[in-house]
A and B are shown apart, each in its own frame.
Chain A
């Protein structure tokens, strides 16, 4: 039985003091997949995560969550039926700091309809989180790890991790990635991982949403983005002629030589054409593509 939820946003806008944090966003998160939410700091990732989880009311447009045992589409804001099935873990933790870890665990167990105590116990052991310590006494790394445990053990049909693992060191983050994949394999659900650690996380993802300045840059299967960028290097005039029909993400010039990063699929005919024009064609990695797609300025179209 799958309980994974589908998420849609329609013309979703959120403004802070008049300035748009999210700007008429239309996207759809397919059920049962691991989605990445990528963007630079301030791109609107956390605002989107909070709005999807019903923590924040949209200023315009709406969020619709449907599927699983939820049936028809519903908006999450002030809707307990939806929010009990959605788990958002933020780096801040949203936890009562003055209580011991075990109390936070029993509170989550009481509130979360799909809570799995065995998963929680095993993960608390693996991350070596002391049960009797007050949360405010935990290190930043252990606090982040506690958030991860709460997020995974909740087994919510829509689970959102908003940079919640940034406080963890590399071995702990690897533990998180392993635990996430193992538990997702056992109970497939819709997962959204917001991050700017693109190269570290990208292999875990099936789909990516890239935000920039509150707008959707692209939504795509992540494997389709790998290899979609190309760098074209050669005599400036030839580069300009060849790249005229493509979205050019970045350009650099050194004397008469020019290097352009383009977005687009190069079929063998085009590759032959480039080689015949004396151009060098190279692949562009996902991390570089992400940097170009969200660059503060640039010649992108």
Chain B
């Protein structure tokens, strides 16, 4: 992953790990890289990596096992999916509708397109 310098890197780290959990790339109870491994792999400051991981521990997404490392919390995927579902319409659907209105696509065309996917 490539970090951009327009927002704090520790937040970008936290977001990336959350996405990996939501998509299943990281399984629940799976061990994640240590902050030092993560820092070396992505060539970033170890304190920055540690801050990103600490944020995820605070949010209950990761948990620590003393002397072993950090793991994905057992309920992390559900927790994150619920959070993203809550913001789905505001973050994804509303901008799409604004764009459709701006360029003159009627909402019924969008509905028709969505129906062509069947009931997923």
A203 touches B46 (CB 8 A): no
Question: A: which residues have CB within 8 A of B?
Answer: 33-34, 174, 177-178, 181-182, 184-185, 199, 202-206, 222-224, 226-227, 283-287
Contact of B9 among A181, A203, A285 (CB under 8 A): A203
B45 within 8 A of A: yes
Which residues of A lie under 8 Å from residue B8 when comparing CB positions?
223-224, 226-227
CB interface residues, B 47-73, toward A, < 8 Å:
47-48, 51
The answer to whether B45 touches A204 (Cβ under 8 A) is yes
Q: Whole-angstrom distance between the alpha carbons of A228 and B5 in the complex?
A: 11
**Interchain Cβ contacts under 8 Å between A and B, 5 examples:** A182-B40, A204-B44, A222-B45, A223-B10, A227-B8
User: Whose C-beta in chain B lies nearest to the C-beta of A186?
Assistant: B36
What are the interface flags for B8-19 relative to A under an 8 Å C-beta threshold, 1 for contact and 0 otherwise?
A: 111000000000
| Bitwise interface map of B from 33 to 49 toward A, beta carbon under 8 Å scored 1, else 0 | 00010011011111110
Tell me whether A204 and B43 are in contact (CB under 8 A).
yes
Question: Cβ of B119 < 8 Å from any Cβ of A?
Answer: no
Q: Which B residues lie within 8 Å of A185 (CB)?
A: 36, 39-40, 46
User: Measuring CB to CB, which residues of chain B are less than 8 angstroms from any residue of chain A?
Assistant: 3-10, 36, 39-40, 42-48, 51
Given contacts A34-B45, A178-B40, A181-B39, contact A203 B3 (CB under 8 A): yes
Distance A233 CA – B5 CA, assembled complex (angstroms): 20
- Write the nearest CB–CB distance from A29 to chain B, whole angstroms: 14
CA A199 – CA B9 in complex, angstroms? 13
CA separation between A203 and B44, bound complex, in Å?
5
Q: How far is the CB of B117 from chain A (nearest CB, A)?
A: 33
Question: Is there contact, CB below 8 Å, between A226 and B9?
Answer: yes
What residues of B have a CB within 8 angstroms of the CB of A222 in the complex?
45
Residues of chain B with a CB closer than 8 A to A227's CB:
6-8
Residues of B within 8 A of A182 (CB): 40
Query: Is B45 in contact with A178, judged by CB distance below 8 angstroms?
Result: no
Could you list 6 further interchain pairs (A-B, Cβ under 8 angstroms) beyond the known A206-B48, A227-B6?
A34-B45, A178-B43, A181-B39, A185-B39, A203-B3, A285-B5
